Structure 1
Amino acid sequence: MKTIGDQQLLKRINRSVLLRLLRAQPGLSRARLASESGLTKSTVSGLVRELIEDRWLTESGAAVADGLGRPSTPLSINDRVRALIGVEVGVETMRVVCVSLLGEVLHADTRPLHGTAPAAACALAAAMCAQAWDEIASRGLEVTGIGVGVPGAVDDATGIVLFAPNLGWRRLDLLPQLIDAFAAEGLPRVPVQLQNEADVAALGEYEFCDGEGEDPLIFVDCDVGVGAGIVLNDRLFTGAQGMAGEIGHSILQADGPLCSCGRRGCAEAFFGSRMMGQGPGDVRRAGEMLGVLLQNLWMTFDPRAIVVGGSTCVRHPEFLQSARETVHRYADAAGMPPPVVRGARHGLLAPAIGAAALALHEYLRPMHPNTVERRERASPQLLMR
């Protein structure tokens, strides 16, 4: 029988429900948590006590009226104990950030990535994470998990990088190399998660927001490559083999410019940073083609928000404006309200911050079919309490 295991899983699920409610609505009381979650008051009371003891939650000393008949003590996520590390392995740069459980950036570092050898990339990531860890420890915080985003398709179950064309990686089992590099730098063992950089950027926008997250949400990353991350029904939508969102080589014009992949008319051939012209007319035209791509994503997923980030947006603000105008023209022609189209909240740090959000996202969703397998593979002997 699996009674004990089932009870432990049920407790984890219920704990995650309360944590997610308080992330979306800080200040809820125990009574309101019971009402919002559907759990009994006694269950909520016991779980809250455990979460306070484990330093996931904190409570205000002042009781307030909660509208349910008697004064209650507001609860909130304790962001003064735990931190998360996020790593973006870019094509030309490496970025590492530390964030609080609520998404506040506590540390950020960017360094050039010289060469594409996996061992060198892992070593640089580990050295930067070690420095970040020291910075967080000096503040009296402990790191709960590390997330890593890479510019390529990642198998959602195994964590294998299926292909990252701009780095020349194919079927690369990167996660063990990262864990070994972290150990070589003397980092304590914590869960390590690996995912596509656009996917994690979408998670960052979704998890670290005010109130309820926008769902569905699409993040489009416009850098050397072009990719998309999709949050659908409170989870990343990665497809059957981790290939969902590989939009850089979707065809926007049948007889368009030659792409690095050998085909013509790919999205990257119009607005990948290595291909895009520098003149005002070139940037505006590239933005219009991005708008065509965003219109197609809109019609495919009907998102509440489309977020666009990456170095191209930072260097050319008019690029995103042109894309937004194009989407609005399509919407006006169809007589339909367009989705929100906006820039990334944290600019170039979006994938790294999203990578930090990845570990928290996985922890708060214990029933995800791949969560246990991926967490055990990432760190076999240590799960987050």
Structure 2
Amino acid sequence: MKTTGDQQLVKRINRSVLLRLLRRRSGLSRAQLAQESGLTKSTVSLLVRELIDEGWVTETGPAAAHGLGRPSTPLQLDGSRRAMIGVEIAVESLRVVGVSLTGEVLWSVEEALAEHEPAAVCRQVAQLVVRAHAALAARPVLVSGVGIGLPGAFDEASGTVRFAPNLGWRNVSFLPLITRALAEAGCPPVAVHVQNEADTAALSEYEFTDGDAKDSLIFVTCGVGVGAGIVLNDRLFTGLQGMAGEIGHSILQIDGPACSCGRRGCAETFFGARALGQLPDPARGGVFLGVVLQNLWTTFNPGALVVGGPSCERHPDIVRTARDTLDAYATSAGVAPPPVRPARYGLLASAVGAAALVLHHELRPMHAPSLIH
């Protein structure tokens, strides 16, 4: 006999199947959803009614007749009634956004990071999230959850920031701190998800790409720190303790320049923001970025490489130089490289992707559960 918990999980999985089908092919009817999902028509009808009532799905356009029987009504994700809040904790600033299910930025704010002490950062984040909630409620839009991206290795299993050298954090129990701060600030109870800022940036491209997103993508973010968000086989690849993608601390030169992490010769010391600021020609840093792109390409074979972050906005030549460097390696090997493109959301990529993290979990109910404060 199945338990209630099992039945609820099956229901969540079935809902996610329908949502993913509609994200991939907007305009499917209930009958088409049943055919493509393998679910019964009665199950699809019940789930679609729930999804419409809850603001996930909307009926669009006139019903179309297909031979005998009732006309079919096209369905699509509803971008007007439900949204997610995304937060980027950067080294020097905070960015908070409200994003619709379809990737539209509905509200945003940025302010300087007042302190680096973890509890103080959480309090500042909580105040901005409360503002975001109020702004979205005024539209009115229902908030599905809060996602947070931060510049370090986040261990999802324990809710701990293992390693964030540019904030001076090591082994910080972040999830309890932020959930407590949100509750004390009066934030309505919602699911809270946390990941590395590069991981969330990758989701801004992966979850909100038009059409059927490829199952692999790497986002390289370039700022004070350097990191990579990696999506493989439709899932974030974060590693055992959230350390995957810390490419800023991969070694490009033995006994090279000293890095904030304590090592020498890290990639960050060649094209991190501090290093670029000391170069007569910042585009030179793009050569080292191109080397890292080449290494990511040959290691993971992604469908696309996306490059963004403050350094790319300030020094756009580094992206062109990196692409040229990657192309040169590809030509030498006689192999076509993956496409390299700039970030769709610019400096909001990590914050928008943090909002997308909420959707990413909603569409994959077998993933580890979030914490609801």
TM-score, structure 2 normalization: 0.95
Give the alignment of 1:149-164 within 5 angstroms. Answer: 149-164=149-164
Aligned ranges 1:180-199 → 2 under 5 Å? 180-199=180-199
For 2:68 and 2:300, locate their aligned partners in 1 and report how far apart those are by CA, in whole Å.
39
Q: Distance in 1 between matches of 2:156 and 2:341?
A: 27
List alignment gaps of at least 5 residues for structure 1: 381-385
Q: Which residue does 2:261 correspond to in 1?
A: 261
- Where 2:275 maps in the other structure, the secondary structure is coil
CA 1:66–1:217 in structure 2 vs 1: closer, same or farther (change >3 Å)?
Answer: farther
- Which residue pairs with 2:212 in the alignment? 212
Alignment of 1:64-103 (within 5 A): 64=64, 71-103=71-103
1:173 corresponds to: 173
Post-superposition Cα deviations, 1:163-211, rounded to whole Å, max 9, x if no partner, equal: 1111111111111221121122211111111111111111111001101
Q: Identify the residue that residue 110 of structure 2 maps to in structure 1.
A: 110
> Mean Cα displacement is larger for which, 310-319 or 32-41?
32-41
Q: Conserved in 2, the CA contact under 8 Å of 1:16 and 1:364? A: yes
Q: Structure 1 residue 298 and structure 2 residue 291: aligned?
A: no
In structure 2, do the counterparts of structure 1 residues 246 and 52 end up closer, same or farther at CA, with 3 Å as the change threshold?
same
- Asked if structure 2 preserves the Cα contact closer than 8 Å seen for 1:34 and 1:41, the reply is yes
What is the CA distance between 1:336 and its match in structure 2? Answer: 0.9
Residue 33 of structure 1 deviates from its aligned partner by 1.2
Partner of 1:64: helix, strand, or coil? coil
- Segments of 5+ residues of structure 2 without an aligned counterpart are none
> What residue in structure 2 maps to residue 57 of structure 1?
57
Partner amino acid, structure 1, of 2:298: M
Structure 1 39/61 Cα, relative in aligned 2: closer, same or farther at 3 Å? same
Mean Cα displacement is larger for which, 73-82 or 296-305?
Answer: 73-82
- Structure 2 match to 1:383: none
Bigger drift between 259-268 and 287-296 goes to 259-268
* 1:348 alignment partner in structure 2: 347
Aligned to 2:318: 319
1:256-291 deviations in whole A, cap 9, x for unaligned?
A: 33333343321001011012245563x222101100
- The one-letter code matched in structure 1 to 2:212 is E
Q: Contact between 2:203 and 2:356, CA under 8 Å: does it hold in 1?
A: yes
Q: Which amino acid is 1:22 matched to?
A: L
Aligned to 1:230: 230
Q: 1:328 aligned to 2:334? A: no
Preserved contact between residue 203 and residue 357 of structure 2 (Cα < 8 Å): yes
Q: For the structure 1 residues 140 and 291, does the alpha-carbon distance in structure 2 shift closer, same or farther, using more than 3 Å as the test?
A: same
Identity %: 63
Cα distance in 1 between the residues matched to 2:156 and 2:342? 27
3-state secondary structure, aligned to 2:179: helix
CA RMSD of aligned residues (A): 1.8
Q: What is the letter of the counterpart of residue 73 of structure 1?
A: T
Provide Cα deviations, 1:231-269, integer angstroms capped at 9, x if missing partner: 111110111111110111111222533333343321001
Q: Does the C-alpha gap of structure 1 residues 318 and 240 become closer, same or farther in structure 2, counting only changes over 3 Å?
A: same
Q: In 2, distance between residues paired with 1:165 and 1:255?
A: 19
Q: CA deviation at 1:130?
A: 1.3
| Alpha-carbon distance between aligned partners in 1 of 2:341 and 2:70, rounded to the nearest angstrom | 42
What is the number of equivalent residue pairs in this alignment? 373
- Following superposition, the deviation at residue 317 of structure 1 comes to 0.6
Question: Please, which moves more after superposition, 285-294 or 23-32?
Answer: 23-32
Deviates more, 1:248-257 or 1:97-106: 248-257
Classify the secondary structure of the residue corresponding to 2:224: coil
2-side partners of 1:232 and 1:106: how far apart? Answer: 29
Alpha-carbon distance between aligned partners in 2 of 1:66 and 1:211, rounded to the nearest angstrom: 25
After superposition, give the CA deviation of every residue in 1:289-338 in whole Å (9 maximum; x if it has no partner).
10000000000000001111111000001010100111111111111111
Change in Cα spacing, 1:47 to 1:277, as seen in structure 2 (3 Å) is same
Equivalent residue number for residue 372 of structure 2: 379
> What letter corresponds to residue 169 of structure 1 in structure 2?
W
Q: Secondary structure at the match of 1:263?
A: coil
Q: 2:334 corresponds to which letter in structure 1?
A: G
Using the size of structure 1 for normalisation, the TM-score is 0.93
